Structure 1
Amino acid sequence: MGICFSTTKVSGSNSNTPSTTANNHQHHRPGRDCTSSKPATTTTTTTTSSSSSSSNKSTKQRGSHYNHHKTKESHRNDQKRNIPLIIKNSSKRPGGIIPCGKRADFGYDKDFNNRYTIGKLLGHGQFGYTYVAIDRSNGDRVAVKKIEKNKMVLPIAVEDVKREVKILKALAGHENVVQFHNSFEDDSFVYIVMELCEGGELLDRILSKKDSRYTEKDAAIIVRQMLKVAAQCHLHGLVHRDMKPENFLFKSPKEDSPLKATDFGLSDFIRPGKKFQDIVGSAYYVAPEVLKRKSGPESDVWSIGVITYILLCGRRPFWDKTEDGIFKEVLRNKPDFRRKPWPSTSNAAKDFVKKLLVKDPRARLTAAQALSHPWVREGGEASEIPLDISVLYNMRQFVTYSRLKQFALRALASTLDEEELADLRDQFDAIDVDKNGSISLEEMRQALAKDLPWKMKDSRVLEILQAIDSNTDGLVDFSEFVAATLHVHQLEEHNSEMWQQRSHAAFEKFDVDRDGFITTEELKMHTGLRGSMDLLLEEADIDKDGKISLSEFRRLLRTASMSSRNVTSSSVNRG
């Protein structure tokens, strides 16, 4: 989409509320990834708090946006002009100026003009234009982003183009991503050739609906496609970072046209265990952790949650007249599920949206988990559910936990029912390729290899399998798999009462005499380990009274969750 830079600054005493003042040196992006054949013109704009406020005077009621009495074009103008928020810290990115008269060499093919004929203009951004083009070899229509080299005077702009091409190549073949065909260059331009989508933006479809709302069934179809893109991105160590209705295009004008993700200009790769510290995206869809400068793949899921809310009710879940106000809404308030049409919306739909709009990213559903949710799953196939990057992460983490944490997680896993484990059953089935009810070393190796950024060594795969394999038969069954892949923060966040019951039931598997404490003798009875239990007990015995209370046991479970701090090898008790 058009690249907008904000000059607003959030006020207030909240230390987590971000400053969003754009630097004098604006971050260069190569313009809109405009693969839609719908005519469009995008511009670089600067928005201030005062202009945002004045331009929204007619929308004072919180959340009354898409179904406010305005024209469709007015809605589009609001969407594109107001509250933009696209900011990126470039202090750690390549600096300097490309010497005058020297243009970057990208190493791309040089025969664009021999292979394609440029047609009508589709749109333009800061650095170039997007056109319809004809493939001379077969007459196919494609979209071509034509980027001017003489405007890429900073190495950061060159790196952005190279990264976008790398991302499109990495996602090539995914049915819900705009397909990349090739990249070319000559002395003056870079050309990125992509699939042409002629069905327009998701935003336009929303605005064309009665009350700007989709039916639940149709909304679920849309959301499923977005989640599949996010899950695939995350397996590649990639975060889209700007998921919004304008960045999803329909392949054709048909009602059942597939949806295609586009505009990866703000996307970036992230190393395992790391967080983005910059603020980037669009204000209506930005996740709380982005504003706190500690974001990762979970922020894409939040954005999809916002889009889902809009699809189902025609209003944004977080809104204010200014960018400052939107940020405060996102950080502090919960979406409104009391106004129409929510009372008549299914419980499954509301549950789904609430689990995506959880402010704590550790407790938020992952993209793959969301695909297993009954509301999205209905009508979809289990085979459509990709591997969950967080499940692979949890398996890697499990081997680093002390023996006591591993035993505690196994006890907790045994208290959960099939409904609570539906998403993990999907993941287990995805890894169990031969469908014999257990995961072999080779199947474990194949699964972990799909976490592309990690590049795990075979020796580590065997170590992980042996840690999960509690009965030492050389295979991982479903109960062992669950213990290693549970999301403890989600269990606690989504249903606190159930968490209390489940964690207490797990505690009582150790507390044989039901006196409210786990002793060293009870640890020996439960674990079957020989020798002293003192080291095992000390890890959870916070008050050093020689026994483990229920609260200490729950704390142990929490620190064994997906987003806990890494446990160093020196603290691992392999007993």
Structure 2
Amino acid sequence: MGNTCVGPSLSKNGFFQSVSATIWRNRSNKVDLPTSDGKATGEGTVATPPKPNTDAPQPVKIQDDEAKPAKVPEAESKPAPERPPTDQPTKPYHVNRASSVAGLQVEFVLKSKTENLKDVYSLGRKLGQGQFGTTYLCVEKATGMEYACKSILKRKLTTEEDVEDVRREIQIMHHLSGNPNVISIKEAYEDAVAVHVVMELCAGGELFDRIIQKGHYTERKAAELAKVIVGVVEACHSMGVMHRDLKPENFLFVNQMEDAPLKTIDFGLSIFFQPEIFTDVVGSPYYVAPEVLKKRYGPEADVWSAGVIAEHLSEDEIAGLKEMFKMIDTDNSGQITYEELKAGLEKFGANLKESEIYALMQAADVDNSGTIDYGEFIAATLHLNKIEREDHLFAAFSYFDKDGSGYITQDELQQACQEFGIEDVRLEDMIRDVDQDN
């Protein structure tokens, strides 16, 4: 799948050839909320005559009269108190609009009013950041139990489709509840600012991070994890759900123990399916099936993604990539800009022209956002690493294939062995082992 994500010309860039591994990450869109300072300016407090008892009633009555010229001093003192009422409403109204669902005429995303999240839970530290919101540690006040709370900002749900996606994600989580390898939802809440999804806490970290820590799994352990991943796919499909974004980052361990249960998360792109063909392109670059990019696919796309994950479990290509991404992403935004990429290339000793860096940026930036996120970085580096290996294999094959026929004969193999001073080699056995079509 890597070759659908980046151009072949990238294989010449030594910087990216030194790395490899897994998938795109969530983006964060910063939108500043207007805030009200709430400060009283004092401009509305205008000195008035101490006790003009005979004149005080008249301004009230004069609102319907035309005798304003006779009351010029008081006409000047009246607009001043009227100014704060006209100024003050504008700020609160503006704040309320910004914190509501921008551009959508919906009263509730969840279609009904819920309890206030903060009446039931106390929010703690941030656990993760996504495109539409943030996940926090939360503690249930009544029991002291710890959970994870995914808060989805309503101002980022700019279309009716976005709203339906949130509703469907919550519905699918309830639908799949009870499966031991699917994260369980506890409850959903909504306020003026966000939709909050409270779910079980998986404190053992991502499968991706475990792979990095270990370098790779043994074949036996990799087979155990692959069985869990395939089991999740089978369970989802049997209940009419296609995940559509399976990747190591979307599998979490319940705790830090070596044999901790593995659970699937993030059903934001998931969908209920019937026997039909889907055309929308979703998923993560390195794990998405070719049929998805061709806009003609079904639930078998999940099987492809599960296979790619299983392949990576026993490989050690991924180790080190996350740290390299962090080194280049100097502002820790989760996105590599053109300037950061240029500085990173210089730091790693890659002397490229600006046009070459720009071409590299364009090829790796799959979604044309103008930046490279973690998943795009992983997809590009993995692909380039494989291209480099293939180039080396082709060069080696060409060396043995003296007559350029596309085949290596026993005589050519013997000649190459003599050139390298290799003796005592049973060429007949070697060719028989690899010559599968005889």
Q: In structure 1, what is the Cα distance between the partners aligned to 2:277 and 2:20?
A: 32
Amino acid at match of 1:58: F
Q: Which residue of 1 aligns with 2:258?
A: 255
Distance 2:277 2:211 in 1: 33
Instruction: Answer whether contact 2:23 2:286 (CA < 8 A) is retained.
Output: no
User: In the alignment, which of 104, 110, 118 is matched to residue 113 of structure 1?
Assistant: 118
Aligned mates of 2:314, 2:110 — CA distance in 1? 47
1:290-313 deviations in Å (ceiling 9; x for gaps): 121111111111111111111122
Q: Does 1:304 align with 2:280?
A: no
Residue equivalent to 1:178: 183
Cα pair 1:279 1:291 within 8 Å, conserved = yes
Aligned with residue 17 of structure 2, among 52, 60, 79: 60
Give the Cα separation in 2 of the matches to 1:109 and 1:55: 56
What is the letter of the counterpart of residue 225 of structure 2? I
Aligned residue in 1 for 2:161: 156
* Matched-pair contact (CA < 8 Å) for 1:97–1:155: no
How do residues 219-258 of structure 1 correspond to structure 2 at under 5 angstroms? 219-258=222-261
Q: Matches of 1:56 and 1:172 in 2, distance apart?
A: 47
Count of aligned pairs: 259
Q: Alpha carbons of 1:152 and 1:185: their partners in 2 closer, same or farther (altered >3 Å)? A: same
Kept in 1, the 8 Å contact 2:185–2:200? The answer is yes
Displacement, 1:262?
0.6
The match for 2:145 among 125, 140, 147 is 140
Separation in structure 1 between the aligned mates of residue 260 and residue 176 of structure 2, nearest angstrom = 20
Structure 1-normalised TM-score? 0.40
1:103–1:149 Cα contact (<8 Å) kept: no
Partner of 1:218: 221
TM-fit CA distance, 1:55: 12
Q: How does 1:158-557 map to 2 (within 5 A)?
A: 158-209=163-214, 212-272=215-275, 274-315=276-317, 322=363
1:284 and 1:105, CA in 2 relative to 1: closer, same or farther beyond 3 A? closer
Residue of structure 2 in register with 1:405 after alignment: none
Identity of counterpart residues, as a percentage? Answer: 40
Instruction: Tell me, yes or no, if the aligned pair for 2:110 and 2:167 is still in contact at 8 Å.
Output: no
Paired residue secondary structure (2:148)? strand
CA distance 1:104–1:249, change in 2 (3 Å): closer
Contact 1:168 1:179 in 2 (8 A): yes
| 8 Å contact kept, 2:176–2:236 | yes
Higher RCO (CA 8 Å, separation ≥ 6 residues): 2
Structure 1: where are the runs of 5+ without partners? 1-9, 11-16, 21-47, 67-77, 85-95, 340-496, 498-575
Where does structure 2 lack aligned partners over 5 or more consecutive residues?
A: 28-101, 319-359, 367-375, 393-436
Classify 1:98/1:65 alpha carbon distance in 2 versus 1 (closer, same or farther; 3 Å). Answer: same
In 2: Cα distance, 1:49 partner to 1:132 partner: 41
**TM superposition score normalised by structure 2:** 0.52
- Structure 1 residues 252 and 155, CA gap change in structure 2 (3 angstroms): same
Kept after mapping to 1: 8 A contact 2:242/2:272: yes
* 2:284 aligned partner, one-letter code: S
CA distance in 1, matches of 2:13, 2:203: 31
Q: Deviations over 1:179-211 (max 9, x none)?
A: 1101111233211000111111111111111xx
- How far does residue 177 in structure 1 lie from its aligned partner after superposition? 0.9
Q: Following TM superposition, where does structure 1 have runs of at least 4 consecutive aligned residues deviating by more than 6 angstroms? A: 324-327
State the alpha-carbon separation in 1 of the partners of residues 228 and 298 from structure 2.
Answer: 20
Moved more, 52-61 or 135-144: 52-61
Tell me, in whole angstroms, the C-alpha distance in 2 between the residues paired with 1:129 and 1:218. Answer: 32
2:23–2:285: 8 Å Cα contact kept in structure 1? no
Distance in 2, matches of 1:186 and 1:161, equals: 14
Q: Give the CA deviation at 1:149.
A: 2.1
Distance (Å, rounded) in 1 between the aligned partners of 2:183 and 2:281: 25
State how far apart, in whole Å, the 1-side matches of 2:131 and 2:220 are: 39
| Matched position secondary structure for 1:123 | strand
Deviations 1:527-553 (A, max 9, x none): xxxxxxxxxxxxxxxxxxxxxxxxxxx
Separation (CA, whole Å) in 2 of partners of 1:310 and 1:121 = 29
Task: Quote the Cα distance in structure 2 between the aligned partners of 1:127 and 1:137.
Answer: 29
Q: Is the 8 A contact 1:106 1:185 kept in 2?
A: no
What is the alpha-carbon root mean square deviation over aligned residues? 3.9
Any conservation in 2 of the 1:65–1:314 contact (CA below 8 Å)?
A: no
Which position in structure 2 is the counterpart of 1:126? 131
Cα distance in 2 between the residues matched to 1:125 and 1:172: 23
